[in-house]
Amino acid sequence: MKLAKKYAESIKSYDRSKSYDLNEAAKIVIDTAKAKFDETIELHVRLGVDPRQADQQVRGVLVLPNGTGKTKKVLVIAKGDKADAATAAGADYVGAEETIQRIQSQNWFDFDVMITTPDMMGMVGRIGRILGPKGLMPNPKSGTVTMDVAKAVKEVKAGKVEYRLDKTAIIHCPIGKKSFGVEKLTENFNALMEAIVKAKPAAAKGQYIKSVTLSSTMGPGVKVTFNKG
C-alpha cells in the first residue's frame, strides 16, 4: 500500500494527458521514481507499423553512449582461440559442450547474455527451446552469433541494448538508471530514437512514430514530444 500511495502522489504531480519536451519529461520521470532502489528508466515507442508483416519488423542493437547502468553477465560458447579471446575480453563464463549440458541438466542460468560462434550454433540449437522463452537464444541480428566474440563481449559490457517490436507494435527498451540524471538519460534517449528512426521499414506507410513515453520501474509513464517520423 505504501508504494501505491507513492504512485498516486506521483501521478498528481504532472499532467498525464500532456506531452512534455524531453528534458522536462526526463526530470518528471526521475522525480516520480520513488522506490528505494536505483530504478531503471525505460523508453516505450509505439510505431505505425504492422508487426505481423515480415517486411515491417523493426529491430536492432545499439551501444548506448552512457551504458545502461547494469553490468550484464556474459556466457560465451566457443572453443580454442575464440574461447581464449572471450576470456581476455571479460566474459564471465566461457565453455562448450559441458556448459550446454549444465544448462540442460541443472537448469543453470547465471548469465544475462549468451554469445556464440557460428560453428557452435548446432550445439546451442539443441537447447533452443529452453533458451528461447528466456530471451537468451543467440541471434546473428543481435550480434550474439559472431566470429568476433571479443568485440561482442566488450559491446555488451559497455551497455549494448537490443530493441525490437513486440506484438502490439511497441518497442520497450531501458535507457539507464534514475541516478544517471537528466543529461545522460537524454543522450541515451536521443541515440536510441535516432536508431529507431533509421530502422524505419520501407514498407511502413503513414506516421511512423505514433507515441513516445518514458517511465521508471515503479513509476507512471510520461509522454514525450517527438516530431520526427
Characterize the bridge pairing of strands 40-47 and 170-177. antiparallel
Residue located via cell numbers 512514430: 209
Predicted TM-score (pTM) of the model is 0.82
Q: How far apart are CA 98 and CA 80, in angstroms?
A: 15
Locate 174 and state its grid cell. 531501458
pLDDT per residue, tens digit, the chain (229 aa), is: 455 676 666 667 688 889 999 999 999 999 999 889 999 999 999 999 999 999 999 999 999 999 999 889 999 999 999 999 999 999 999 999 999 999 999 999 999 999 999 999 999 999 999 999 998 999 998 899 999 999 999 999 999 998 999 999 999 999 999 999 999 999 999 999 999 999 999 999 899 999 999 999 998 899 999 976 5
